[in-house]
Amino acid sequence: MEAPHIYVEQTLAIVKPDCIHKAEEIEDIILRSGFAVLKKRRVHLTPEQASDFYAEHYGKLFFPSLVAYMSSGPVVALVISRDRAISYWRELIGPTNTYKARQTHPDCLRSLYGTDDQRNALHGSDGFSSSQREIRFFFPDSIVEPIAVGQAAKD
Ligand code: RTP
Ligand code: MG
């Protein structure tokens, strides 16, 4: 019988400007949570780059302040990898709104490190195609495919 496959995925994590002073602490948490850090880059996004990154939200009321926030100081972008990386990292960071996160998920990272309803410390890709796009946004030469491991050897 074949062993079930485990898919080692990659996702993009961002330490946002309000949390940049905790970037090393966040990287430690990432490593202790079973992720490998494959790539890391500190960058100060221009408003144009922040607009491109969050283009899906163009036209929403909060878009201008989101762009101002994300271009207000440096961020650290990390490509992190483990099984179920995309959903697992989203679970660890928790709900978007820091105040709600503190009520419903008090141990999540946004609850612990976020500032308010917009400045929520951390980003995580929300699916496979967004992880591909977002990883390539910061690391253009990346190959982003899940790798199946744990398949039984066939004789
Ligand atoms: P992210 O993309 O940063 O990981 O956040 P998310 O999926 O949890 O939330 P999303 O809906 O994609 O929103 C992107 C970012 O926009 C800001 N935001 N502000 N004031 C507001 O109502 C509001 N809603 C969203 C947050 O910084 C959020 O992370
Ligand atoms: Mg999002």
Atom of ligand 1 nearest to the CA of 125: 4
Atom of ligand 1 nearest to the CA of 117: 20
Q: What are phi and psi of 10, to 5 degrees?
A: -115, 150
Ligand 1 within 6 A of CB of 66 = yes
Instruction: Using DSSP, state whether 41 is helix, strand or coil.
Output: strand
Q: Write the ipTM.
A: 0.97
Q: What is the pLDDT along the chain (155 residues), one digit of tens a residue?
A: 666 778 899 999 999 999 999 999 999 999 999 999 999 999 999 999 999 999 999 999 999 999 999 999 999 999 999 999 999 999 999 999 999 999 999 999 999 999 999 999 999 999 999 999 999 999 998 877 777 776 554 54
* Protein residue closest via CA to atom 11 of ligand 1: 96
Q: What residues are annotated to the active site?
A: 123
Look up the CATH superfamily of 6-149.
Nucleoside diphosphate kinase-like domain (3.30.70.141)
Distances (CA, A) of 72 to 44, 46, 121, 134: 8, 9, 13, 19
The residue whose CB lies within 8 Å of the most ligand 1 atoms, and thus the one to mutate among 120, 126, 133, 134, is 120
Report CA 82 to chain centroid distance, whole Å. 13
134 vs 99: CA distance, rounded Å: 26
Find residue 41's DSSP bridge partners. 77
75 vs 91: CA distance, rounded Å: 21
Runs of H (alpha helix) within 5-53: 23-32, 47-53
Give the global pTM. 0.93
